[in-house]
Structure 1
Amino acid sequence: MLWAARRLLAGVLGAVAVLTLLGFALKNQCAENYAQQRDKALCSNDIQVLYSNRGLAEHRFPYVNGEFVTVTNPDGSTTVDLVGGTLEYPVLTGLFAWFPALFVASDAGYLRLTALLLAPFSFLTALLLAGMVRWRALLYALAPPLVWYSFHNWDLLVVCATVGACHAWWRERWALAGGLLAVGAWLKFWPLLLLAPLALDLLHRGHRRGLVRAVATFVGASVLVNGAFLVASPEGWWAPYAFQQHRAADITSNSVWYWGFEEPVPTDTLNTVVPLLLLLGAAAACGYGWLRASREGVYPFVQVAAAVLTLFMVTNKAHSPQYTLWLLPFFCLLRLRWGWWAAYMAFDLLTYVGLFRWYYALGTPAPDYGLPYQALVLGVWGRAAMLVLLFVVFLRAQPAFGGNTRDGPLPLLPARA
C-alpha cells in the first residue's frame, strides 16, 4: 500500500514538474524581448505586463495609495485605468504580486521570480487531489493548460486555495474549509460563490456547529485580509471592483458578450444582466443540489460548486484564457467520461493559439488572420458550449472520492487527528 502511494505521488508530481518546466520555457523564451515576441511566440502573459503597468516596478505597496481613474483620450473617448499600485484583483493577489517585485529590476526578472514562487502551489494542488482521488489527479497533472497558463497570471494561487477548501471539506474540517474559501475569494473573488453550497451541505447534514464555524471563519478571514486596506484607503481597496464594473466586453475580454453581438453590448446592461444570470443560475444549481440530497441523502457540494463555477465562467463579461485552470480540479473530483476533459482541452488549445496569433496578425502591416481567427472563433464558442453542457453534467455527476472514513487519505499524507 505504501509503495503504491509513493508510486502514485511520484507519477503525479513528476507530470506536474514536466509541464511546469515546459510552461516556464514557453513564457521565458521571450522574457528579454517581450513586447516584440509576446503574441508571435505565444509567450504572452499578464505578469510582465502588469509589472510595468500597475506600479510594481516602482515597488508601490498595493491599494493603499491606488485609485481608479477615468482618462479622456484626445479623440474625446474615455478609458478606465488603475494607478498608484492597485491591481485589478482582490488584495491577496495584489500582495503576492507586489512581493517579488521588491527583489528584481526588470520585467524579465519579475517573471522568473514570480514563476519560482508560483510553482509550489501547483505541486500542492496535485498532492491534495491525489490524496482525494488517487490516479484521477493525473487529469490535472497532465493537463496541457498547465503549460499555457501556469505563469500567465497568478491563478495557480486561487486553484490551490479552492482545492484546499475541497480537501478540508472532504476531511470534515469545516472551519478550515471556510477559511480557505475566504483566501480564494480575496485572490480572485469567484470562490466566494462556493460558500453557499458549503453552507447548504452543512445545513442538510444538520451540522449547525460546523455551519457556524465555516461561515464565521470565512467572515473572520475576510475581515482580517481586507480590514487594514479598507481602513487605510477605502478608495484604493474598492478600485479593483470599480475597474471591473466599468470594464467593457471589448476585444480583450474574450467572452461571448464580445463575440456574440455585432454591436458592443453596453457595459451598464451587462452589469445588470450578468449578475442576474449568475444569481438565477446559482440558485437553480443549489436548488437542484437540495432536491438531489433529498433523494440520495447527501448534498452534492462538489457538483454544485463545479456547476456554479462553469456558470460564472460562461456569463462573465471577461473570460481570460487562464480561467481554464480553475476548472481542472473538478474534472478530477467528479466522475466524468474522459471525453469531456479531452474536448475541453482541445477547445482551450484552439482558443489560446488562435487568440494570440490573431493579436499578432492584427499588428502586422497587411494582416492575414484567416486560420488564427477561425481557430479562435471555434475555440471561444466551443468552450462556451462546453461550459453550458458541463453545468448540467457536473450537477448529475458522482464524486470520484469515497467517504473520508472509508477510504482515508494516502498514507504519505497526514492523517486527521
Structure 2
Amino acid sequence: MHPRLLERVAMCVVAAVATALNVLVKLPCTLPTPDGVPRGAFVSRFGCWSDVAALWNSRDLAGHVFPYVTGSTLGDGTVEYPTLTGVWVWLTALPVGSARGFLLVTGIVAAVLAVVVTLLLARVAGRRAWIWAATPPLALYAVYNWDLLAVVCTVAGLVAMVRPPSTWSTTTRYTVAGIAFGLGGAFKLWPLMFLAPLAIAALLDRDAPLAVRVRRTAASLGGGVGVVLAANVPFVLVNLPGWLSVFTFQAARPIGPSTLSIWYYGLLPWSADVRGPFQQTMGTLSTAATALGIVAVLTVTVVLALRRGTTPWLQSAAALLAVYMVCNKVASPQYVLWLLPFFVVLRIGGWWIAAYLVADVCAVVGFFRNSFYAAVGVGTDTWAYQAMTVGIWGRAALLVALVVVFFRTTSAGPPGPSARAAVPDPDGSAVLSGARRSDGRTGAAGPTG
C-alpha cells in the first residue's frame, strides 16, 4: 500500500475510534439515574451530557412526528435547530425506540461524517489532517450535538475552492462552494457567514473581466441563498409558527452558567439572575459585539482584496468564525469542532493550536466537575472552578488573538504536484486549479486563502 494512502487510512481509523470513544462517554446518560442520586450530580460526575440523548425525551422524538409542521412550540419532533437538522434528527430517530438506540445511531453517522471530513482535509492539507483526526475534540464532542453536519458542509466548500477537481472552472468552484456553505447554514446557521468573504473574493479578485466577476458572485450567493430558501420556505408555508419556534427559542435563551459565555462569567453578579432584566442587556451587548466584529473583519477583507488584487477569503472566514465564537451569547463546548478545520487548512503554528485545545479541555472538564461539586454541596472554591475560569478566559483571549493571526497566515497547500493545468471558463477566463502561488496561497488565478 502506498505510504500516503496508508497514512490516510490510519487517519480515518483514528477519527472513527475517537468518535466511538465519545459515544461510550455519553452512554451513561441514557440510563436511569440511580436511586437517591440527583440527576445533576449523576450527569456532571460522568460528564456524559449530550444534546442527542437529552432531546430524545424533551422534544418527543420517540413519537417520530415530522418536525416543524405541527404546533407552535418546540416538541413533537421539532428541535431548536434549523430545518435540515430537524429533518435529519427525525430520520435517524425512525429506526430506534430509546435514547440509547438514538445515541448509537447518531454515533455511527457521526463516525462516517468524521471520516469524510478527515479525507476532505487530507485532500487540502495532507498530513495536517491529523490535527482534526487525532486531537481531543472528536473524542469529547462528536455526538455532543449534530455539529458535524455543518462541519462537513463547510469543509466541502473549502475543498471546492482550494482543491477542486482539475476539470472545474472558476465559476463552478464558486457555485459549489456557495451551495456547500448554504447547505451548512441549513443545518446550523454559522456557515452562512462564509458566503460573505466568498462573494467578496468572487467580485474583487482581479483575475477576470468585471462581467465575469459579477456573474460568479451571483452564482456563489445564489447557490448558497437558494439552498437555504429551499430548506425553509416549505416549512414556512406549511406552519409558520412552528418554523418560527426555533428562532424565538434561541432569542429567548438565557445566558446562564451552562453557556460558558464570557458575558455570564464576566458580568457576575448581575448576570446570575437568569430571569432578570439584565439578561436583555447582555443579549444586546452580545449582538452588538458580534455585529461590530463581523463588520470589522469584512472591512479588513475588502481593504486587503483591493490592495492585493486577491482576497484572503479563507483567512477572513476563519476570522469571522473566531469573532462569532468569542462574542456570541453561547459558547458551547462543541464549537471547537467548527474551528478545528481552519487550524488544518491554515498554517497556524502548533503552539496556537495546542494552547487553544488545552484551554478548551480546561473549560469543559472544569465545568462538569464544578457542576458535580455544586450538586453535592462542595461549593465553587475548588480546582474545578479555577480550571473552568482559566479555560473560558483562555479561549476568549486566544480567539481574539487568532482574528489577527488568521489574517497573517497562508493556506496549507495541497500535497502533490505544485501546479496543474489551467481550466478555461466558458466565458474565456481561466484558473490554475490548485497551483501554488509565490505568496504561499493556493490557486494562482482565482481567489483563495
Tell me which amino acid in the other structure corresponds to 2:383.
L
Given the alignment of the two structures, is residue 208 of structure 1 paired with residue 214 of structure 2, yes or no? yes
Q: How far does the alpha carbon of each residue in 1:232-279 deviate from its partner, in whole angstroms, 9 at most, with x for none?
A: 111111111111111121122210110001202733333433232222
**Aligned partner of residue 103 in structure 1, secondary structure:** coil
Measured on the aligned residues, the alpha-carbon RMSD in Å equals 2.0
Match of 1:275 among 261, 264, 287: 287
1:315 is matched with which residue? Answer: 327
Match of 1:119 among 111, 114, 123: 111
2:420 is matched with which residue? Answer: none
1:74 is matched with which residue? Answer: none
Among the aligned pairs, what percent are the same residue?
36
Q: How does 1:81-230 map to 2 (within 5 A)?
A: 82-170=74-162, 171=164, 172=170, 173-205=173-205, 206=210, 207-230=213-236
Distance (whole Å) between structure 2 residues aligned to residue 405 and residue 389 of structure 1 = 29
Q: 1:296 to 1:15 in 2, by over 3 A?
A: farther
1:411 is matched with which residue? Answer: none
Distance (whole Å) between structure 2 residues aligned to residue 24 and residue 401 of structure 1 = 33
Distance (whole Å) between structure 1 residues aligned to residue 3 and residue 377 of structure 2 = 58
Tell me which amino acid in the other structure corresponds to 2:63.
E
Q: How far does the alpha carbon of each residue in 1:30-49 deviate from its partner, in whole angstroms, 9 at most, with x for none?
A: 53346574221122111110
1:54 is matched with which residue? Answer: 59
Unmatched tracts of structure 2, length 5 or more? 34-38, 165-169, 272-276, 415-431, 437-449
1:231 is matched with which residue? Answer: 237
**Aligned partner of residue 398 in structure 1, secondary structure:** coil
1:415 is matched with which residue? Answer: none
1:23 is matched with which residue? Answer: 22
Q: How far does the alpha carbon of each residue in 1:267-304 deviate from its partner, in whole angstroms, 9 at most, with x for none?
A: 33334332322222112112212222334332011100
Distance (whole Å) between structure 1 residues aligned to residue 252 and residue 388 of structure 2 = 25
Tell me which amino acid in the other structure corresponds to 1:96.
W
User: TM-score, structure 2 length as denominator?
Assistant: 0.83
Decide which moves more: 263-272 or 327-336.
263-272
Q: How does 1:381-396 map to 2 (within 5 A)?
A: 381-396=393-408
Following TM superposition, by how much is the alpha carbon of 1:366 offset from its aligned partner in structure 2, in angstroms? 4.5
Unmatched tracts of structure 1, length 5 or more? 69-81, 408-417
Q: Which has the larger radius of gyration?
A: 2
CA contact (8 A) 2:66 2:77 kept: yes
Q: 1:391 to 1:66 in 2, by over 3 A?
A: farther
Q: How does 1:349-368 map to 2 (within 5 A)?
A: 349-367=361-379
Decide which moves more: 337-346 or 163-172.
163-172
Following TM superposition, by how much is the alpha carbon of 1:29 offset from its aligned partner in structure 2, in angstroms? 4.6
Q: How far does the alpha carbon of each residue in 1:57-90 deviate from its partner, in whole angstroms, 9 at most, with x for none?
A: 222221111424xxxxxxxxxxxxx334321111
Distance (whole Å) between structure 2 residues aligned to residue 393 and residue 378 of structure 1 = 21
Distance (whole Å) between structure 2 residues aligned to residue 339 and residue 209 of structure 1 = 41
Q: 1:209 to 1:123 in 2, by over 3 A?
A: same
CA contact (8 A) 2:359 2:390 kept: yes
- How many residues of Structure 1 are paired with residues of Structure 2 in the alignment? 394
Tell me which amino acid in the other structure corresponds to 1:363.
A
Distance (whole Å) between structure 1 residues aligned to residue 378 and residue 4 of structure 2 = 56
CA contact (8 A) 1:24 1:151 kept: yes
Following TM superposition, by how much is the alpha carbon of 1:350 offset from its aligned partner in structure 2, in angstroms? 0.6
Distance (whole Å) between structure 1 residues aligned to residue 70 and residue 392 of structure 2 = 37
